[in-house]
Amino acid sequence: MPTQNTYILAIESSCDDTACAILENDRVLSNVVANQKIHEQYGGVVPELASRAHQSNIIPVVEEALKLAKIDKKQLSAIAFTKGPGLMGSLLVGTSFAKSLALSLNIPLLDVHHMHGHILAHFIDDGQEKPSYPFLALTISGGHTQIVQVNSSSNLVVLGTTQDDAVGEAFDKSGKILGLGYPAGPQIDRLAKLGNPRKFEFPVPKAPDLNYSFSGFKTAVLYFLQRETKKNEDFIKENLEDICASIQYTLIKILFKKLEKAVIQTGIKQVAIGGGVSANSGIREHLKSMESKGWKTFIPPFEYTTDNAAMIGISGYFKFLNNDFAGLDTTASPRIHM
């Protein structure tokens, strides 16, 4: 452990949020996120608009993070940024900015895998108990659904992954069919609380081993709603809460079927969740309920679930401690593997 404090400025720009955080060791001093509202009217993220918005947001967001943290640029020890996966144009903005800042301040650069960030966010010092290695992480976001065995901060092994859509897409696409705005995940969560989860039954797709599949799910929702609205054109309006509760119930069932299998196969009973969809209250409750089966569960604080830069900062901090620096020739990698 270094005797001096380490100050890391972290940037996350992989999708549609421009974020900057400052960490003092494993403690977050500031965590600023600029959400891009522009995409709502299109029902999904428009990559070209996202990169343009990152360009106009990045300097104010970085300045705000430094101001809130009461840190001067000269005090920084390193710059961390999201290398991938994500949208090329969006990643390029953060990557180029991070490189120029590190170069101008003559400090090291740390390139971070976005999904490592979602997992290692659990190690941000927030007064909660931390998982110990090895543990299992279910990473659920708009782009990913994976079961990962985390052996250390740099040894993460993917045990299972989605073969098509991510669970976040299943939430968002089902919500789009229901006429909910983008992203629909949080709205389905809110409406599901008011509905009956057993009212309608949706199929649980088949996928081999510890893998997932969600593309058939949204098709099943689409066909179901087409059938029902043919009989009653007000079907969605009259049953919205029950439909949302039933969709969420099924998605939770799909996620936990494989997660339980992974716990049995590995014998690892410490289980963490991460990624935007881990903000879902039904998923959080269900995970907690598994403690009755002997699991020890870890749920990240709300502000570190959807995309943020604090998670990139903590991942960068571990790399810093391991002297695992990136060269200035590092590039944005939209499809980088774990």
Q: According to the binding rule CB under 5 A, does residue 307 interact with Zn ion?
A: yes
Compute how many residues bind ligand KG4; rule: CB under 6 A.
18
Instruction: Kindly give, in sequence order, each residue whose CB lies less than 8 Å from that of residue 22, ignoring residues fewer than 6 positions away.
Output: 7, 8, 9, 10, 28, 29, 30, 65, 66, 68, 69, 71, 313
Nearer to ligand KG4, 186 or 195 (CB): 186
Q: According to the binding rule CB under 6 A, does residue 139 interact with ligand KG4?
A: no
Using alpha carbons only, give the angle 270, 171, 245 rounded to the nearest 5 degrees: 85
CB of 56 to ligand KG4, least distance (A): 20
Both structure tokens of 77: 């020890």
The amino acid occupying position 336 is: I
| Beta bridge partners of residue 27, listed in sequence order | 24
Nearer to ligand KG4, 86 or 108 (CB): 86
Q: According to the binding rule CB under 6 A, does residue 186 interact with ligand KG4?
A: yes
Q: Tell me the C-alpha distance between 284 and 278, whole Å.
A: 7
Nearer to ligand KG4, 15 or 287 (CB): 15
- Nearest-CB residue to Zn ion? 141
Both structure tokens of 116: 């490592």
CB of 159 to ligand KG4, least distance (A): 20
CB atoms within 10 A of CB 273: 27
Nearer to ligand KG4, 24 or 189 (CB): 189
Q: According to the binding rule CB under 6 A, does residue 172 interact with ligand KG4?
A: yes
Burial of 91 (0-12, 13-18, 19+ CB in 10 A): buried
Q: Tell me the C-alpha distance between 222 and 116, whole Å.
A: 33
CB of 19 to Zn ion, least distance (A): 10
From the list 21-29, 133-141, 157-165, 279-287, the region that binds Zn ion by CB under 5 A is 133-141
Nearer to Zn ion, 183 or 195 (CB): 183
Q: According to the binding rule CB under 6 A, does residue 18 interact with ligand KG4?
A: no
Residue 168's SS3 state is: helix
Nearer to ligand KG4, 131 or 275 (CB): 275
First and final C-alpha spacing in the chain: 26
Q: Tell me the C-alpha distance between 157 and 315, whole Å.
A: 16
Q: According to the binding rule CB under 6 A, does residue 275 interact with ligand KG4?
A: yes
Nearest alpha-carbon partner for 160 in 171, 143, 146, 178? 146
CB of 245 to Zn ion, least distance (A): 25
Positions in the binding site for ligand KG4 (CB under 6 A) = 15, 141-143, 168, 171-172, 183, 185-186, 189, 275-277, 279-280, 306-307
Residues at the interface with Zn ion (CB under 5 A): 141, 307
